[in-house]
Structure 1
Amino acid sequence: MRKRCALLFALLLFVSVPAYADPGSVPNGPWLKDAQKMKLKRLHDYEELVKALHRLERVTDGNVQLEVIGQSNENRDIYMAKVGNGPKKMMFVTQQHGDEVMTTEAALNMLNTLGTSNHPAIRNMREEVSLYVVVRANPDGSERYWRYNYDPDAAPEYGSEGKGYDINRYHAPDLTPDQNPVPEAAAIRKAYETYQPHWVIDFHHQGTYKNEDGRMITTSVYWPSHPDVQDPVRRISKQASMVIYDTLSHYGFAEVSQYPGGNYQGIARNAYGLLGSGSVLVEFRGGIGQKSGGKIIRTAYASMFSMVESVSEDTISEYDPDQAEETIPTRGAPVDGGE
Structure 2
Amino acid sequence: MEEKYTEQQVQALYEAYLGRPADPFGQRFWSFALDRFDADIDDVAPFFAYSREFRSTSRKLDDDELITNFYDALFERKPEDDEVAFWTAQLDSGELRRGEVVPAMLQGARPTDQEASFAKFSVADYYASNVSQREFDKDQQLTLDDLRSNEELYADLEALDDEYDTLDLEVVGESLEGRPLYRAEVGEGDKTLMIVSQQHGDEPLGTEALVTLLDTLSADTEYARALREEVTVVAMPRVNPDGFARWEQQVAGEQDVLDPRRNSANMDLNRSYDADNRPDPETIPEALAVLDVVDEYEPDLFLDYHHQNNYLGEDGELDTMSIQWATNPEVAPQVSETGQRAAVAIANQLEDFDHAELSLFPGSDNPAIARNGLALEGTPTLLVEQRGLQEMDQVAQGLDTDYSALASAIATEGLLSMLGVIESMADGSFSELDPEDALMIAERGERIPFEEIYATDQRDSLQWASEDHAASESAVMPAEAPVLGVQTDNDLAAYGMA
Match of 1:258 in 2: 360
Selected match of 1:269 from 364, 367, 371: 371
1:110 aligns with 2:213: yes
- CA displacement, residues 90-143 of structure 1 (integer Å, 9 cap, x when unaligned): 110000000000110111111101011412x32121111111101101010011
1:302 aligns with 2:406: no
Match of 2:436 in 1: 322
Maintained 8 Å contact 1:170/1:180: no
Structure 2 segments unaligned to the other structure (5+ residues): 1-22, 24-71, 77-105, 117-143, 248-259, 393-402, 454-498
Structure with greater helix share of residues: 2
Bigger mean CA offset, 242-251 vs 130-139: 242-251
Selected match of 1:48 from 125, 130, 152: 152
Q: Secondary structure at the match of 2:177?
A: coil
- CA displacement, residues 203-228 of structure 1 (integer Å, 9 cap, x when unaligned): 00001112111112110100000011
Match of 2:45 in 1: none
Q: How does the TM-score come out when normalised to structure 1?
A: 0.83
Selected match of 2:315 from 204, 213, 227: 213
Match of 2:425 in 1: 311
- CA displacement, residues 236-289 of structure 1 (integer Å, 9 cap, x when unaligned): 110011111121122211010000111111111111111112200001101224
Distance 1:193 1:260 in 2: 28
Structure with greater strand share of residues: 1
1:101 aligns with 2:204: yes
Distance 2:220 2:204 in 1: 25
Q: Percent identity?
A: 35
Alignment: residue pair count: 299
Q: How does the TM-score come out when normalised to structure 2?
A: 0.57
Match of 1:125 in 2: 227
Q: Residues 106 and 242 (structure 1 numbering): CA distance in 2 closer, same or farther, change over 3 Å?
A: same
Match of 2:324 in 1: 222
The one-letter code matched in structure 2 to 1:71 is: E
Q: Residues 86 and 251 (structure 1 numbering): CA distance in 2 closer, same or farther, change over 3 Å?
A: same
Match of 1:160 in 2: none
Deviation at 1:318, TM superposition (A): 2.1
1:143 aligns with 2:245: yes
Distance 2:409 2:327 in 1: 29
Q: What do you get for the CA RMSD once the two structures are aligned?
A: 2.4
Deviation at 1:177, TM superposition (A): 4.8
Q: Residues 58 and 29 (structure 1 numbering): CA distance in 2 closer, same or farther, change over 3 Å?
A: same
Structure 1 segments unaligned to the other structure (5+ residues): 1-12, 31-39, 152-163
Selected match of 2:168 from 52, 61, 65: 65
Maintained 8 Å contact 1:129/1:308: yes
Maintained 8 Å contact 1:81/1:134: yes
Distance 1:41 1:144 in 2: 20
Bigger mean CA offset, 83-92 vs 169-178: 169-178
Maintained 8 Å contact 1:86/1:126: yes
The one-letter code matched in structure 1 to 2:415 is: Y
1:332 aligns with 2:445: yes
- CA displacement, residues 24-52 of structure 1 (integer Å, 9 cap, x when unaligned): 9999757xxxxxxxxx9711111111100
The higher radius of gyration belongs to 2
Distance 1:297 1:133 in 2: 16
Maintained 8 Å contact 2:179/2:241: yes
Q: Residues 177 and 166 (structure 1 numbering): CA distance in 2 closer, same or farther, change over 3 Å?
A: closer
Maintained 8 Å contact 1:20/1:294: no
Deviation at 1:67, TM superposition (A): 1.3
Maintained 8 Å contact 2:202/2:244: yes
Maintained 8 Å contact 2:170/2:184: yes
Deviation at 1:178, TM superposition (A): 5.5
Distance 1:26 1:81 in 2: 40
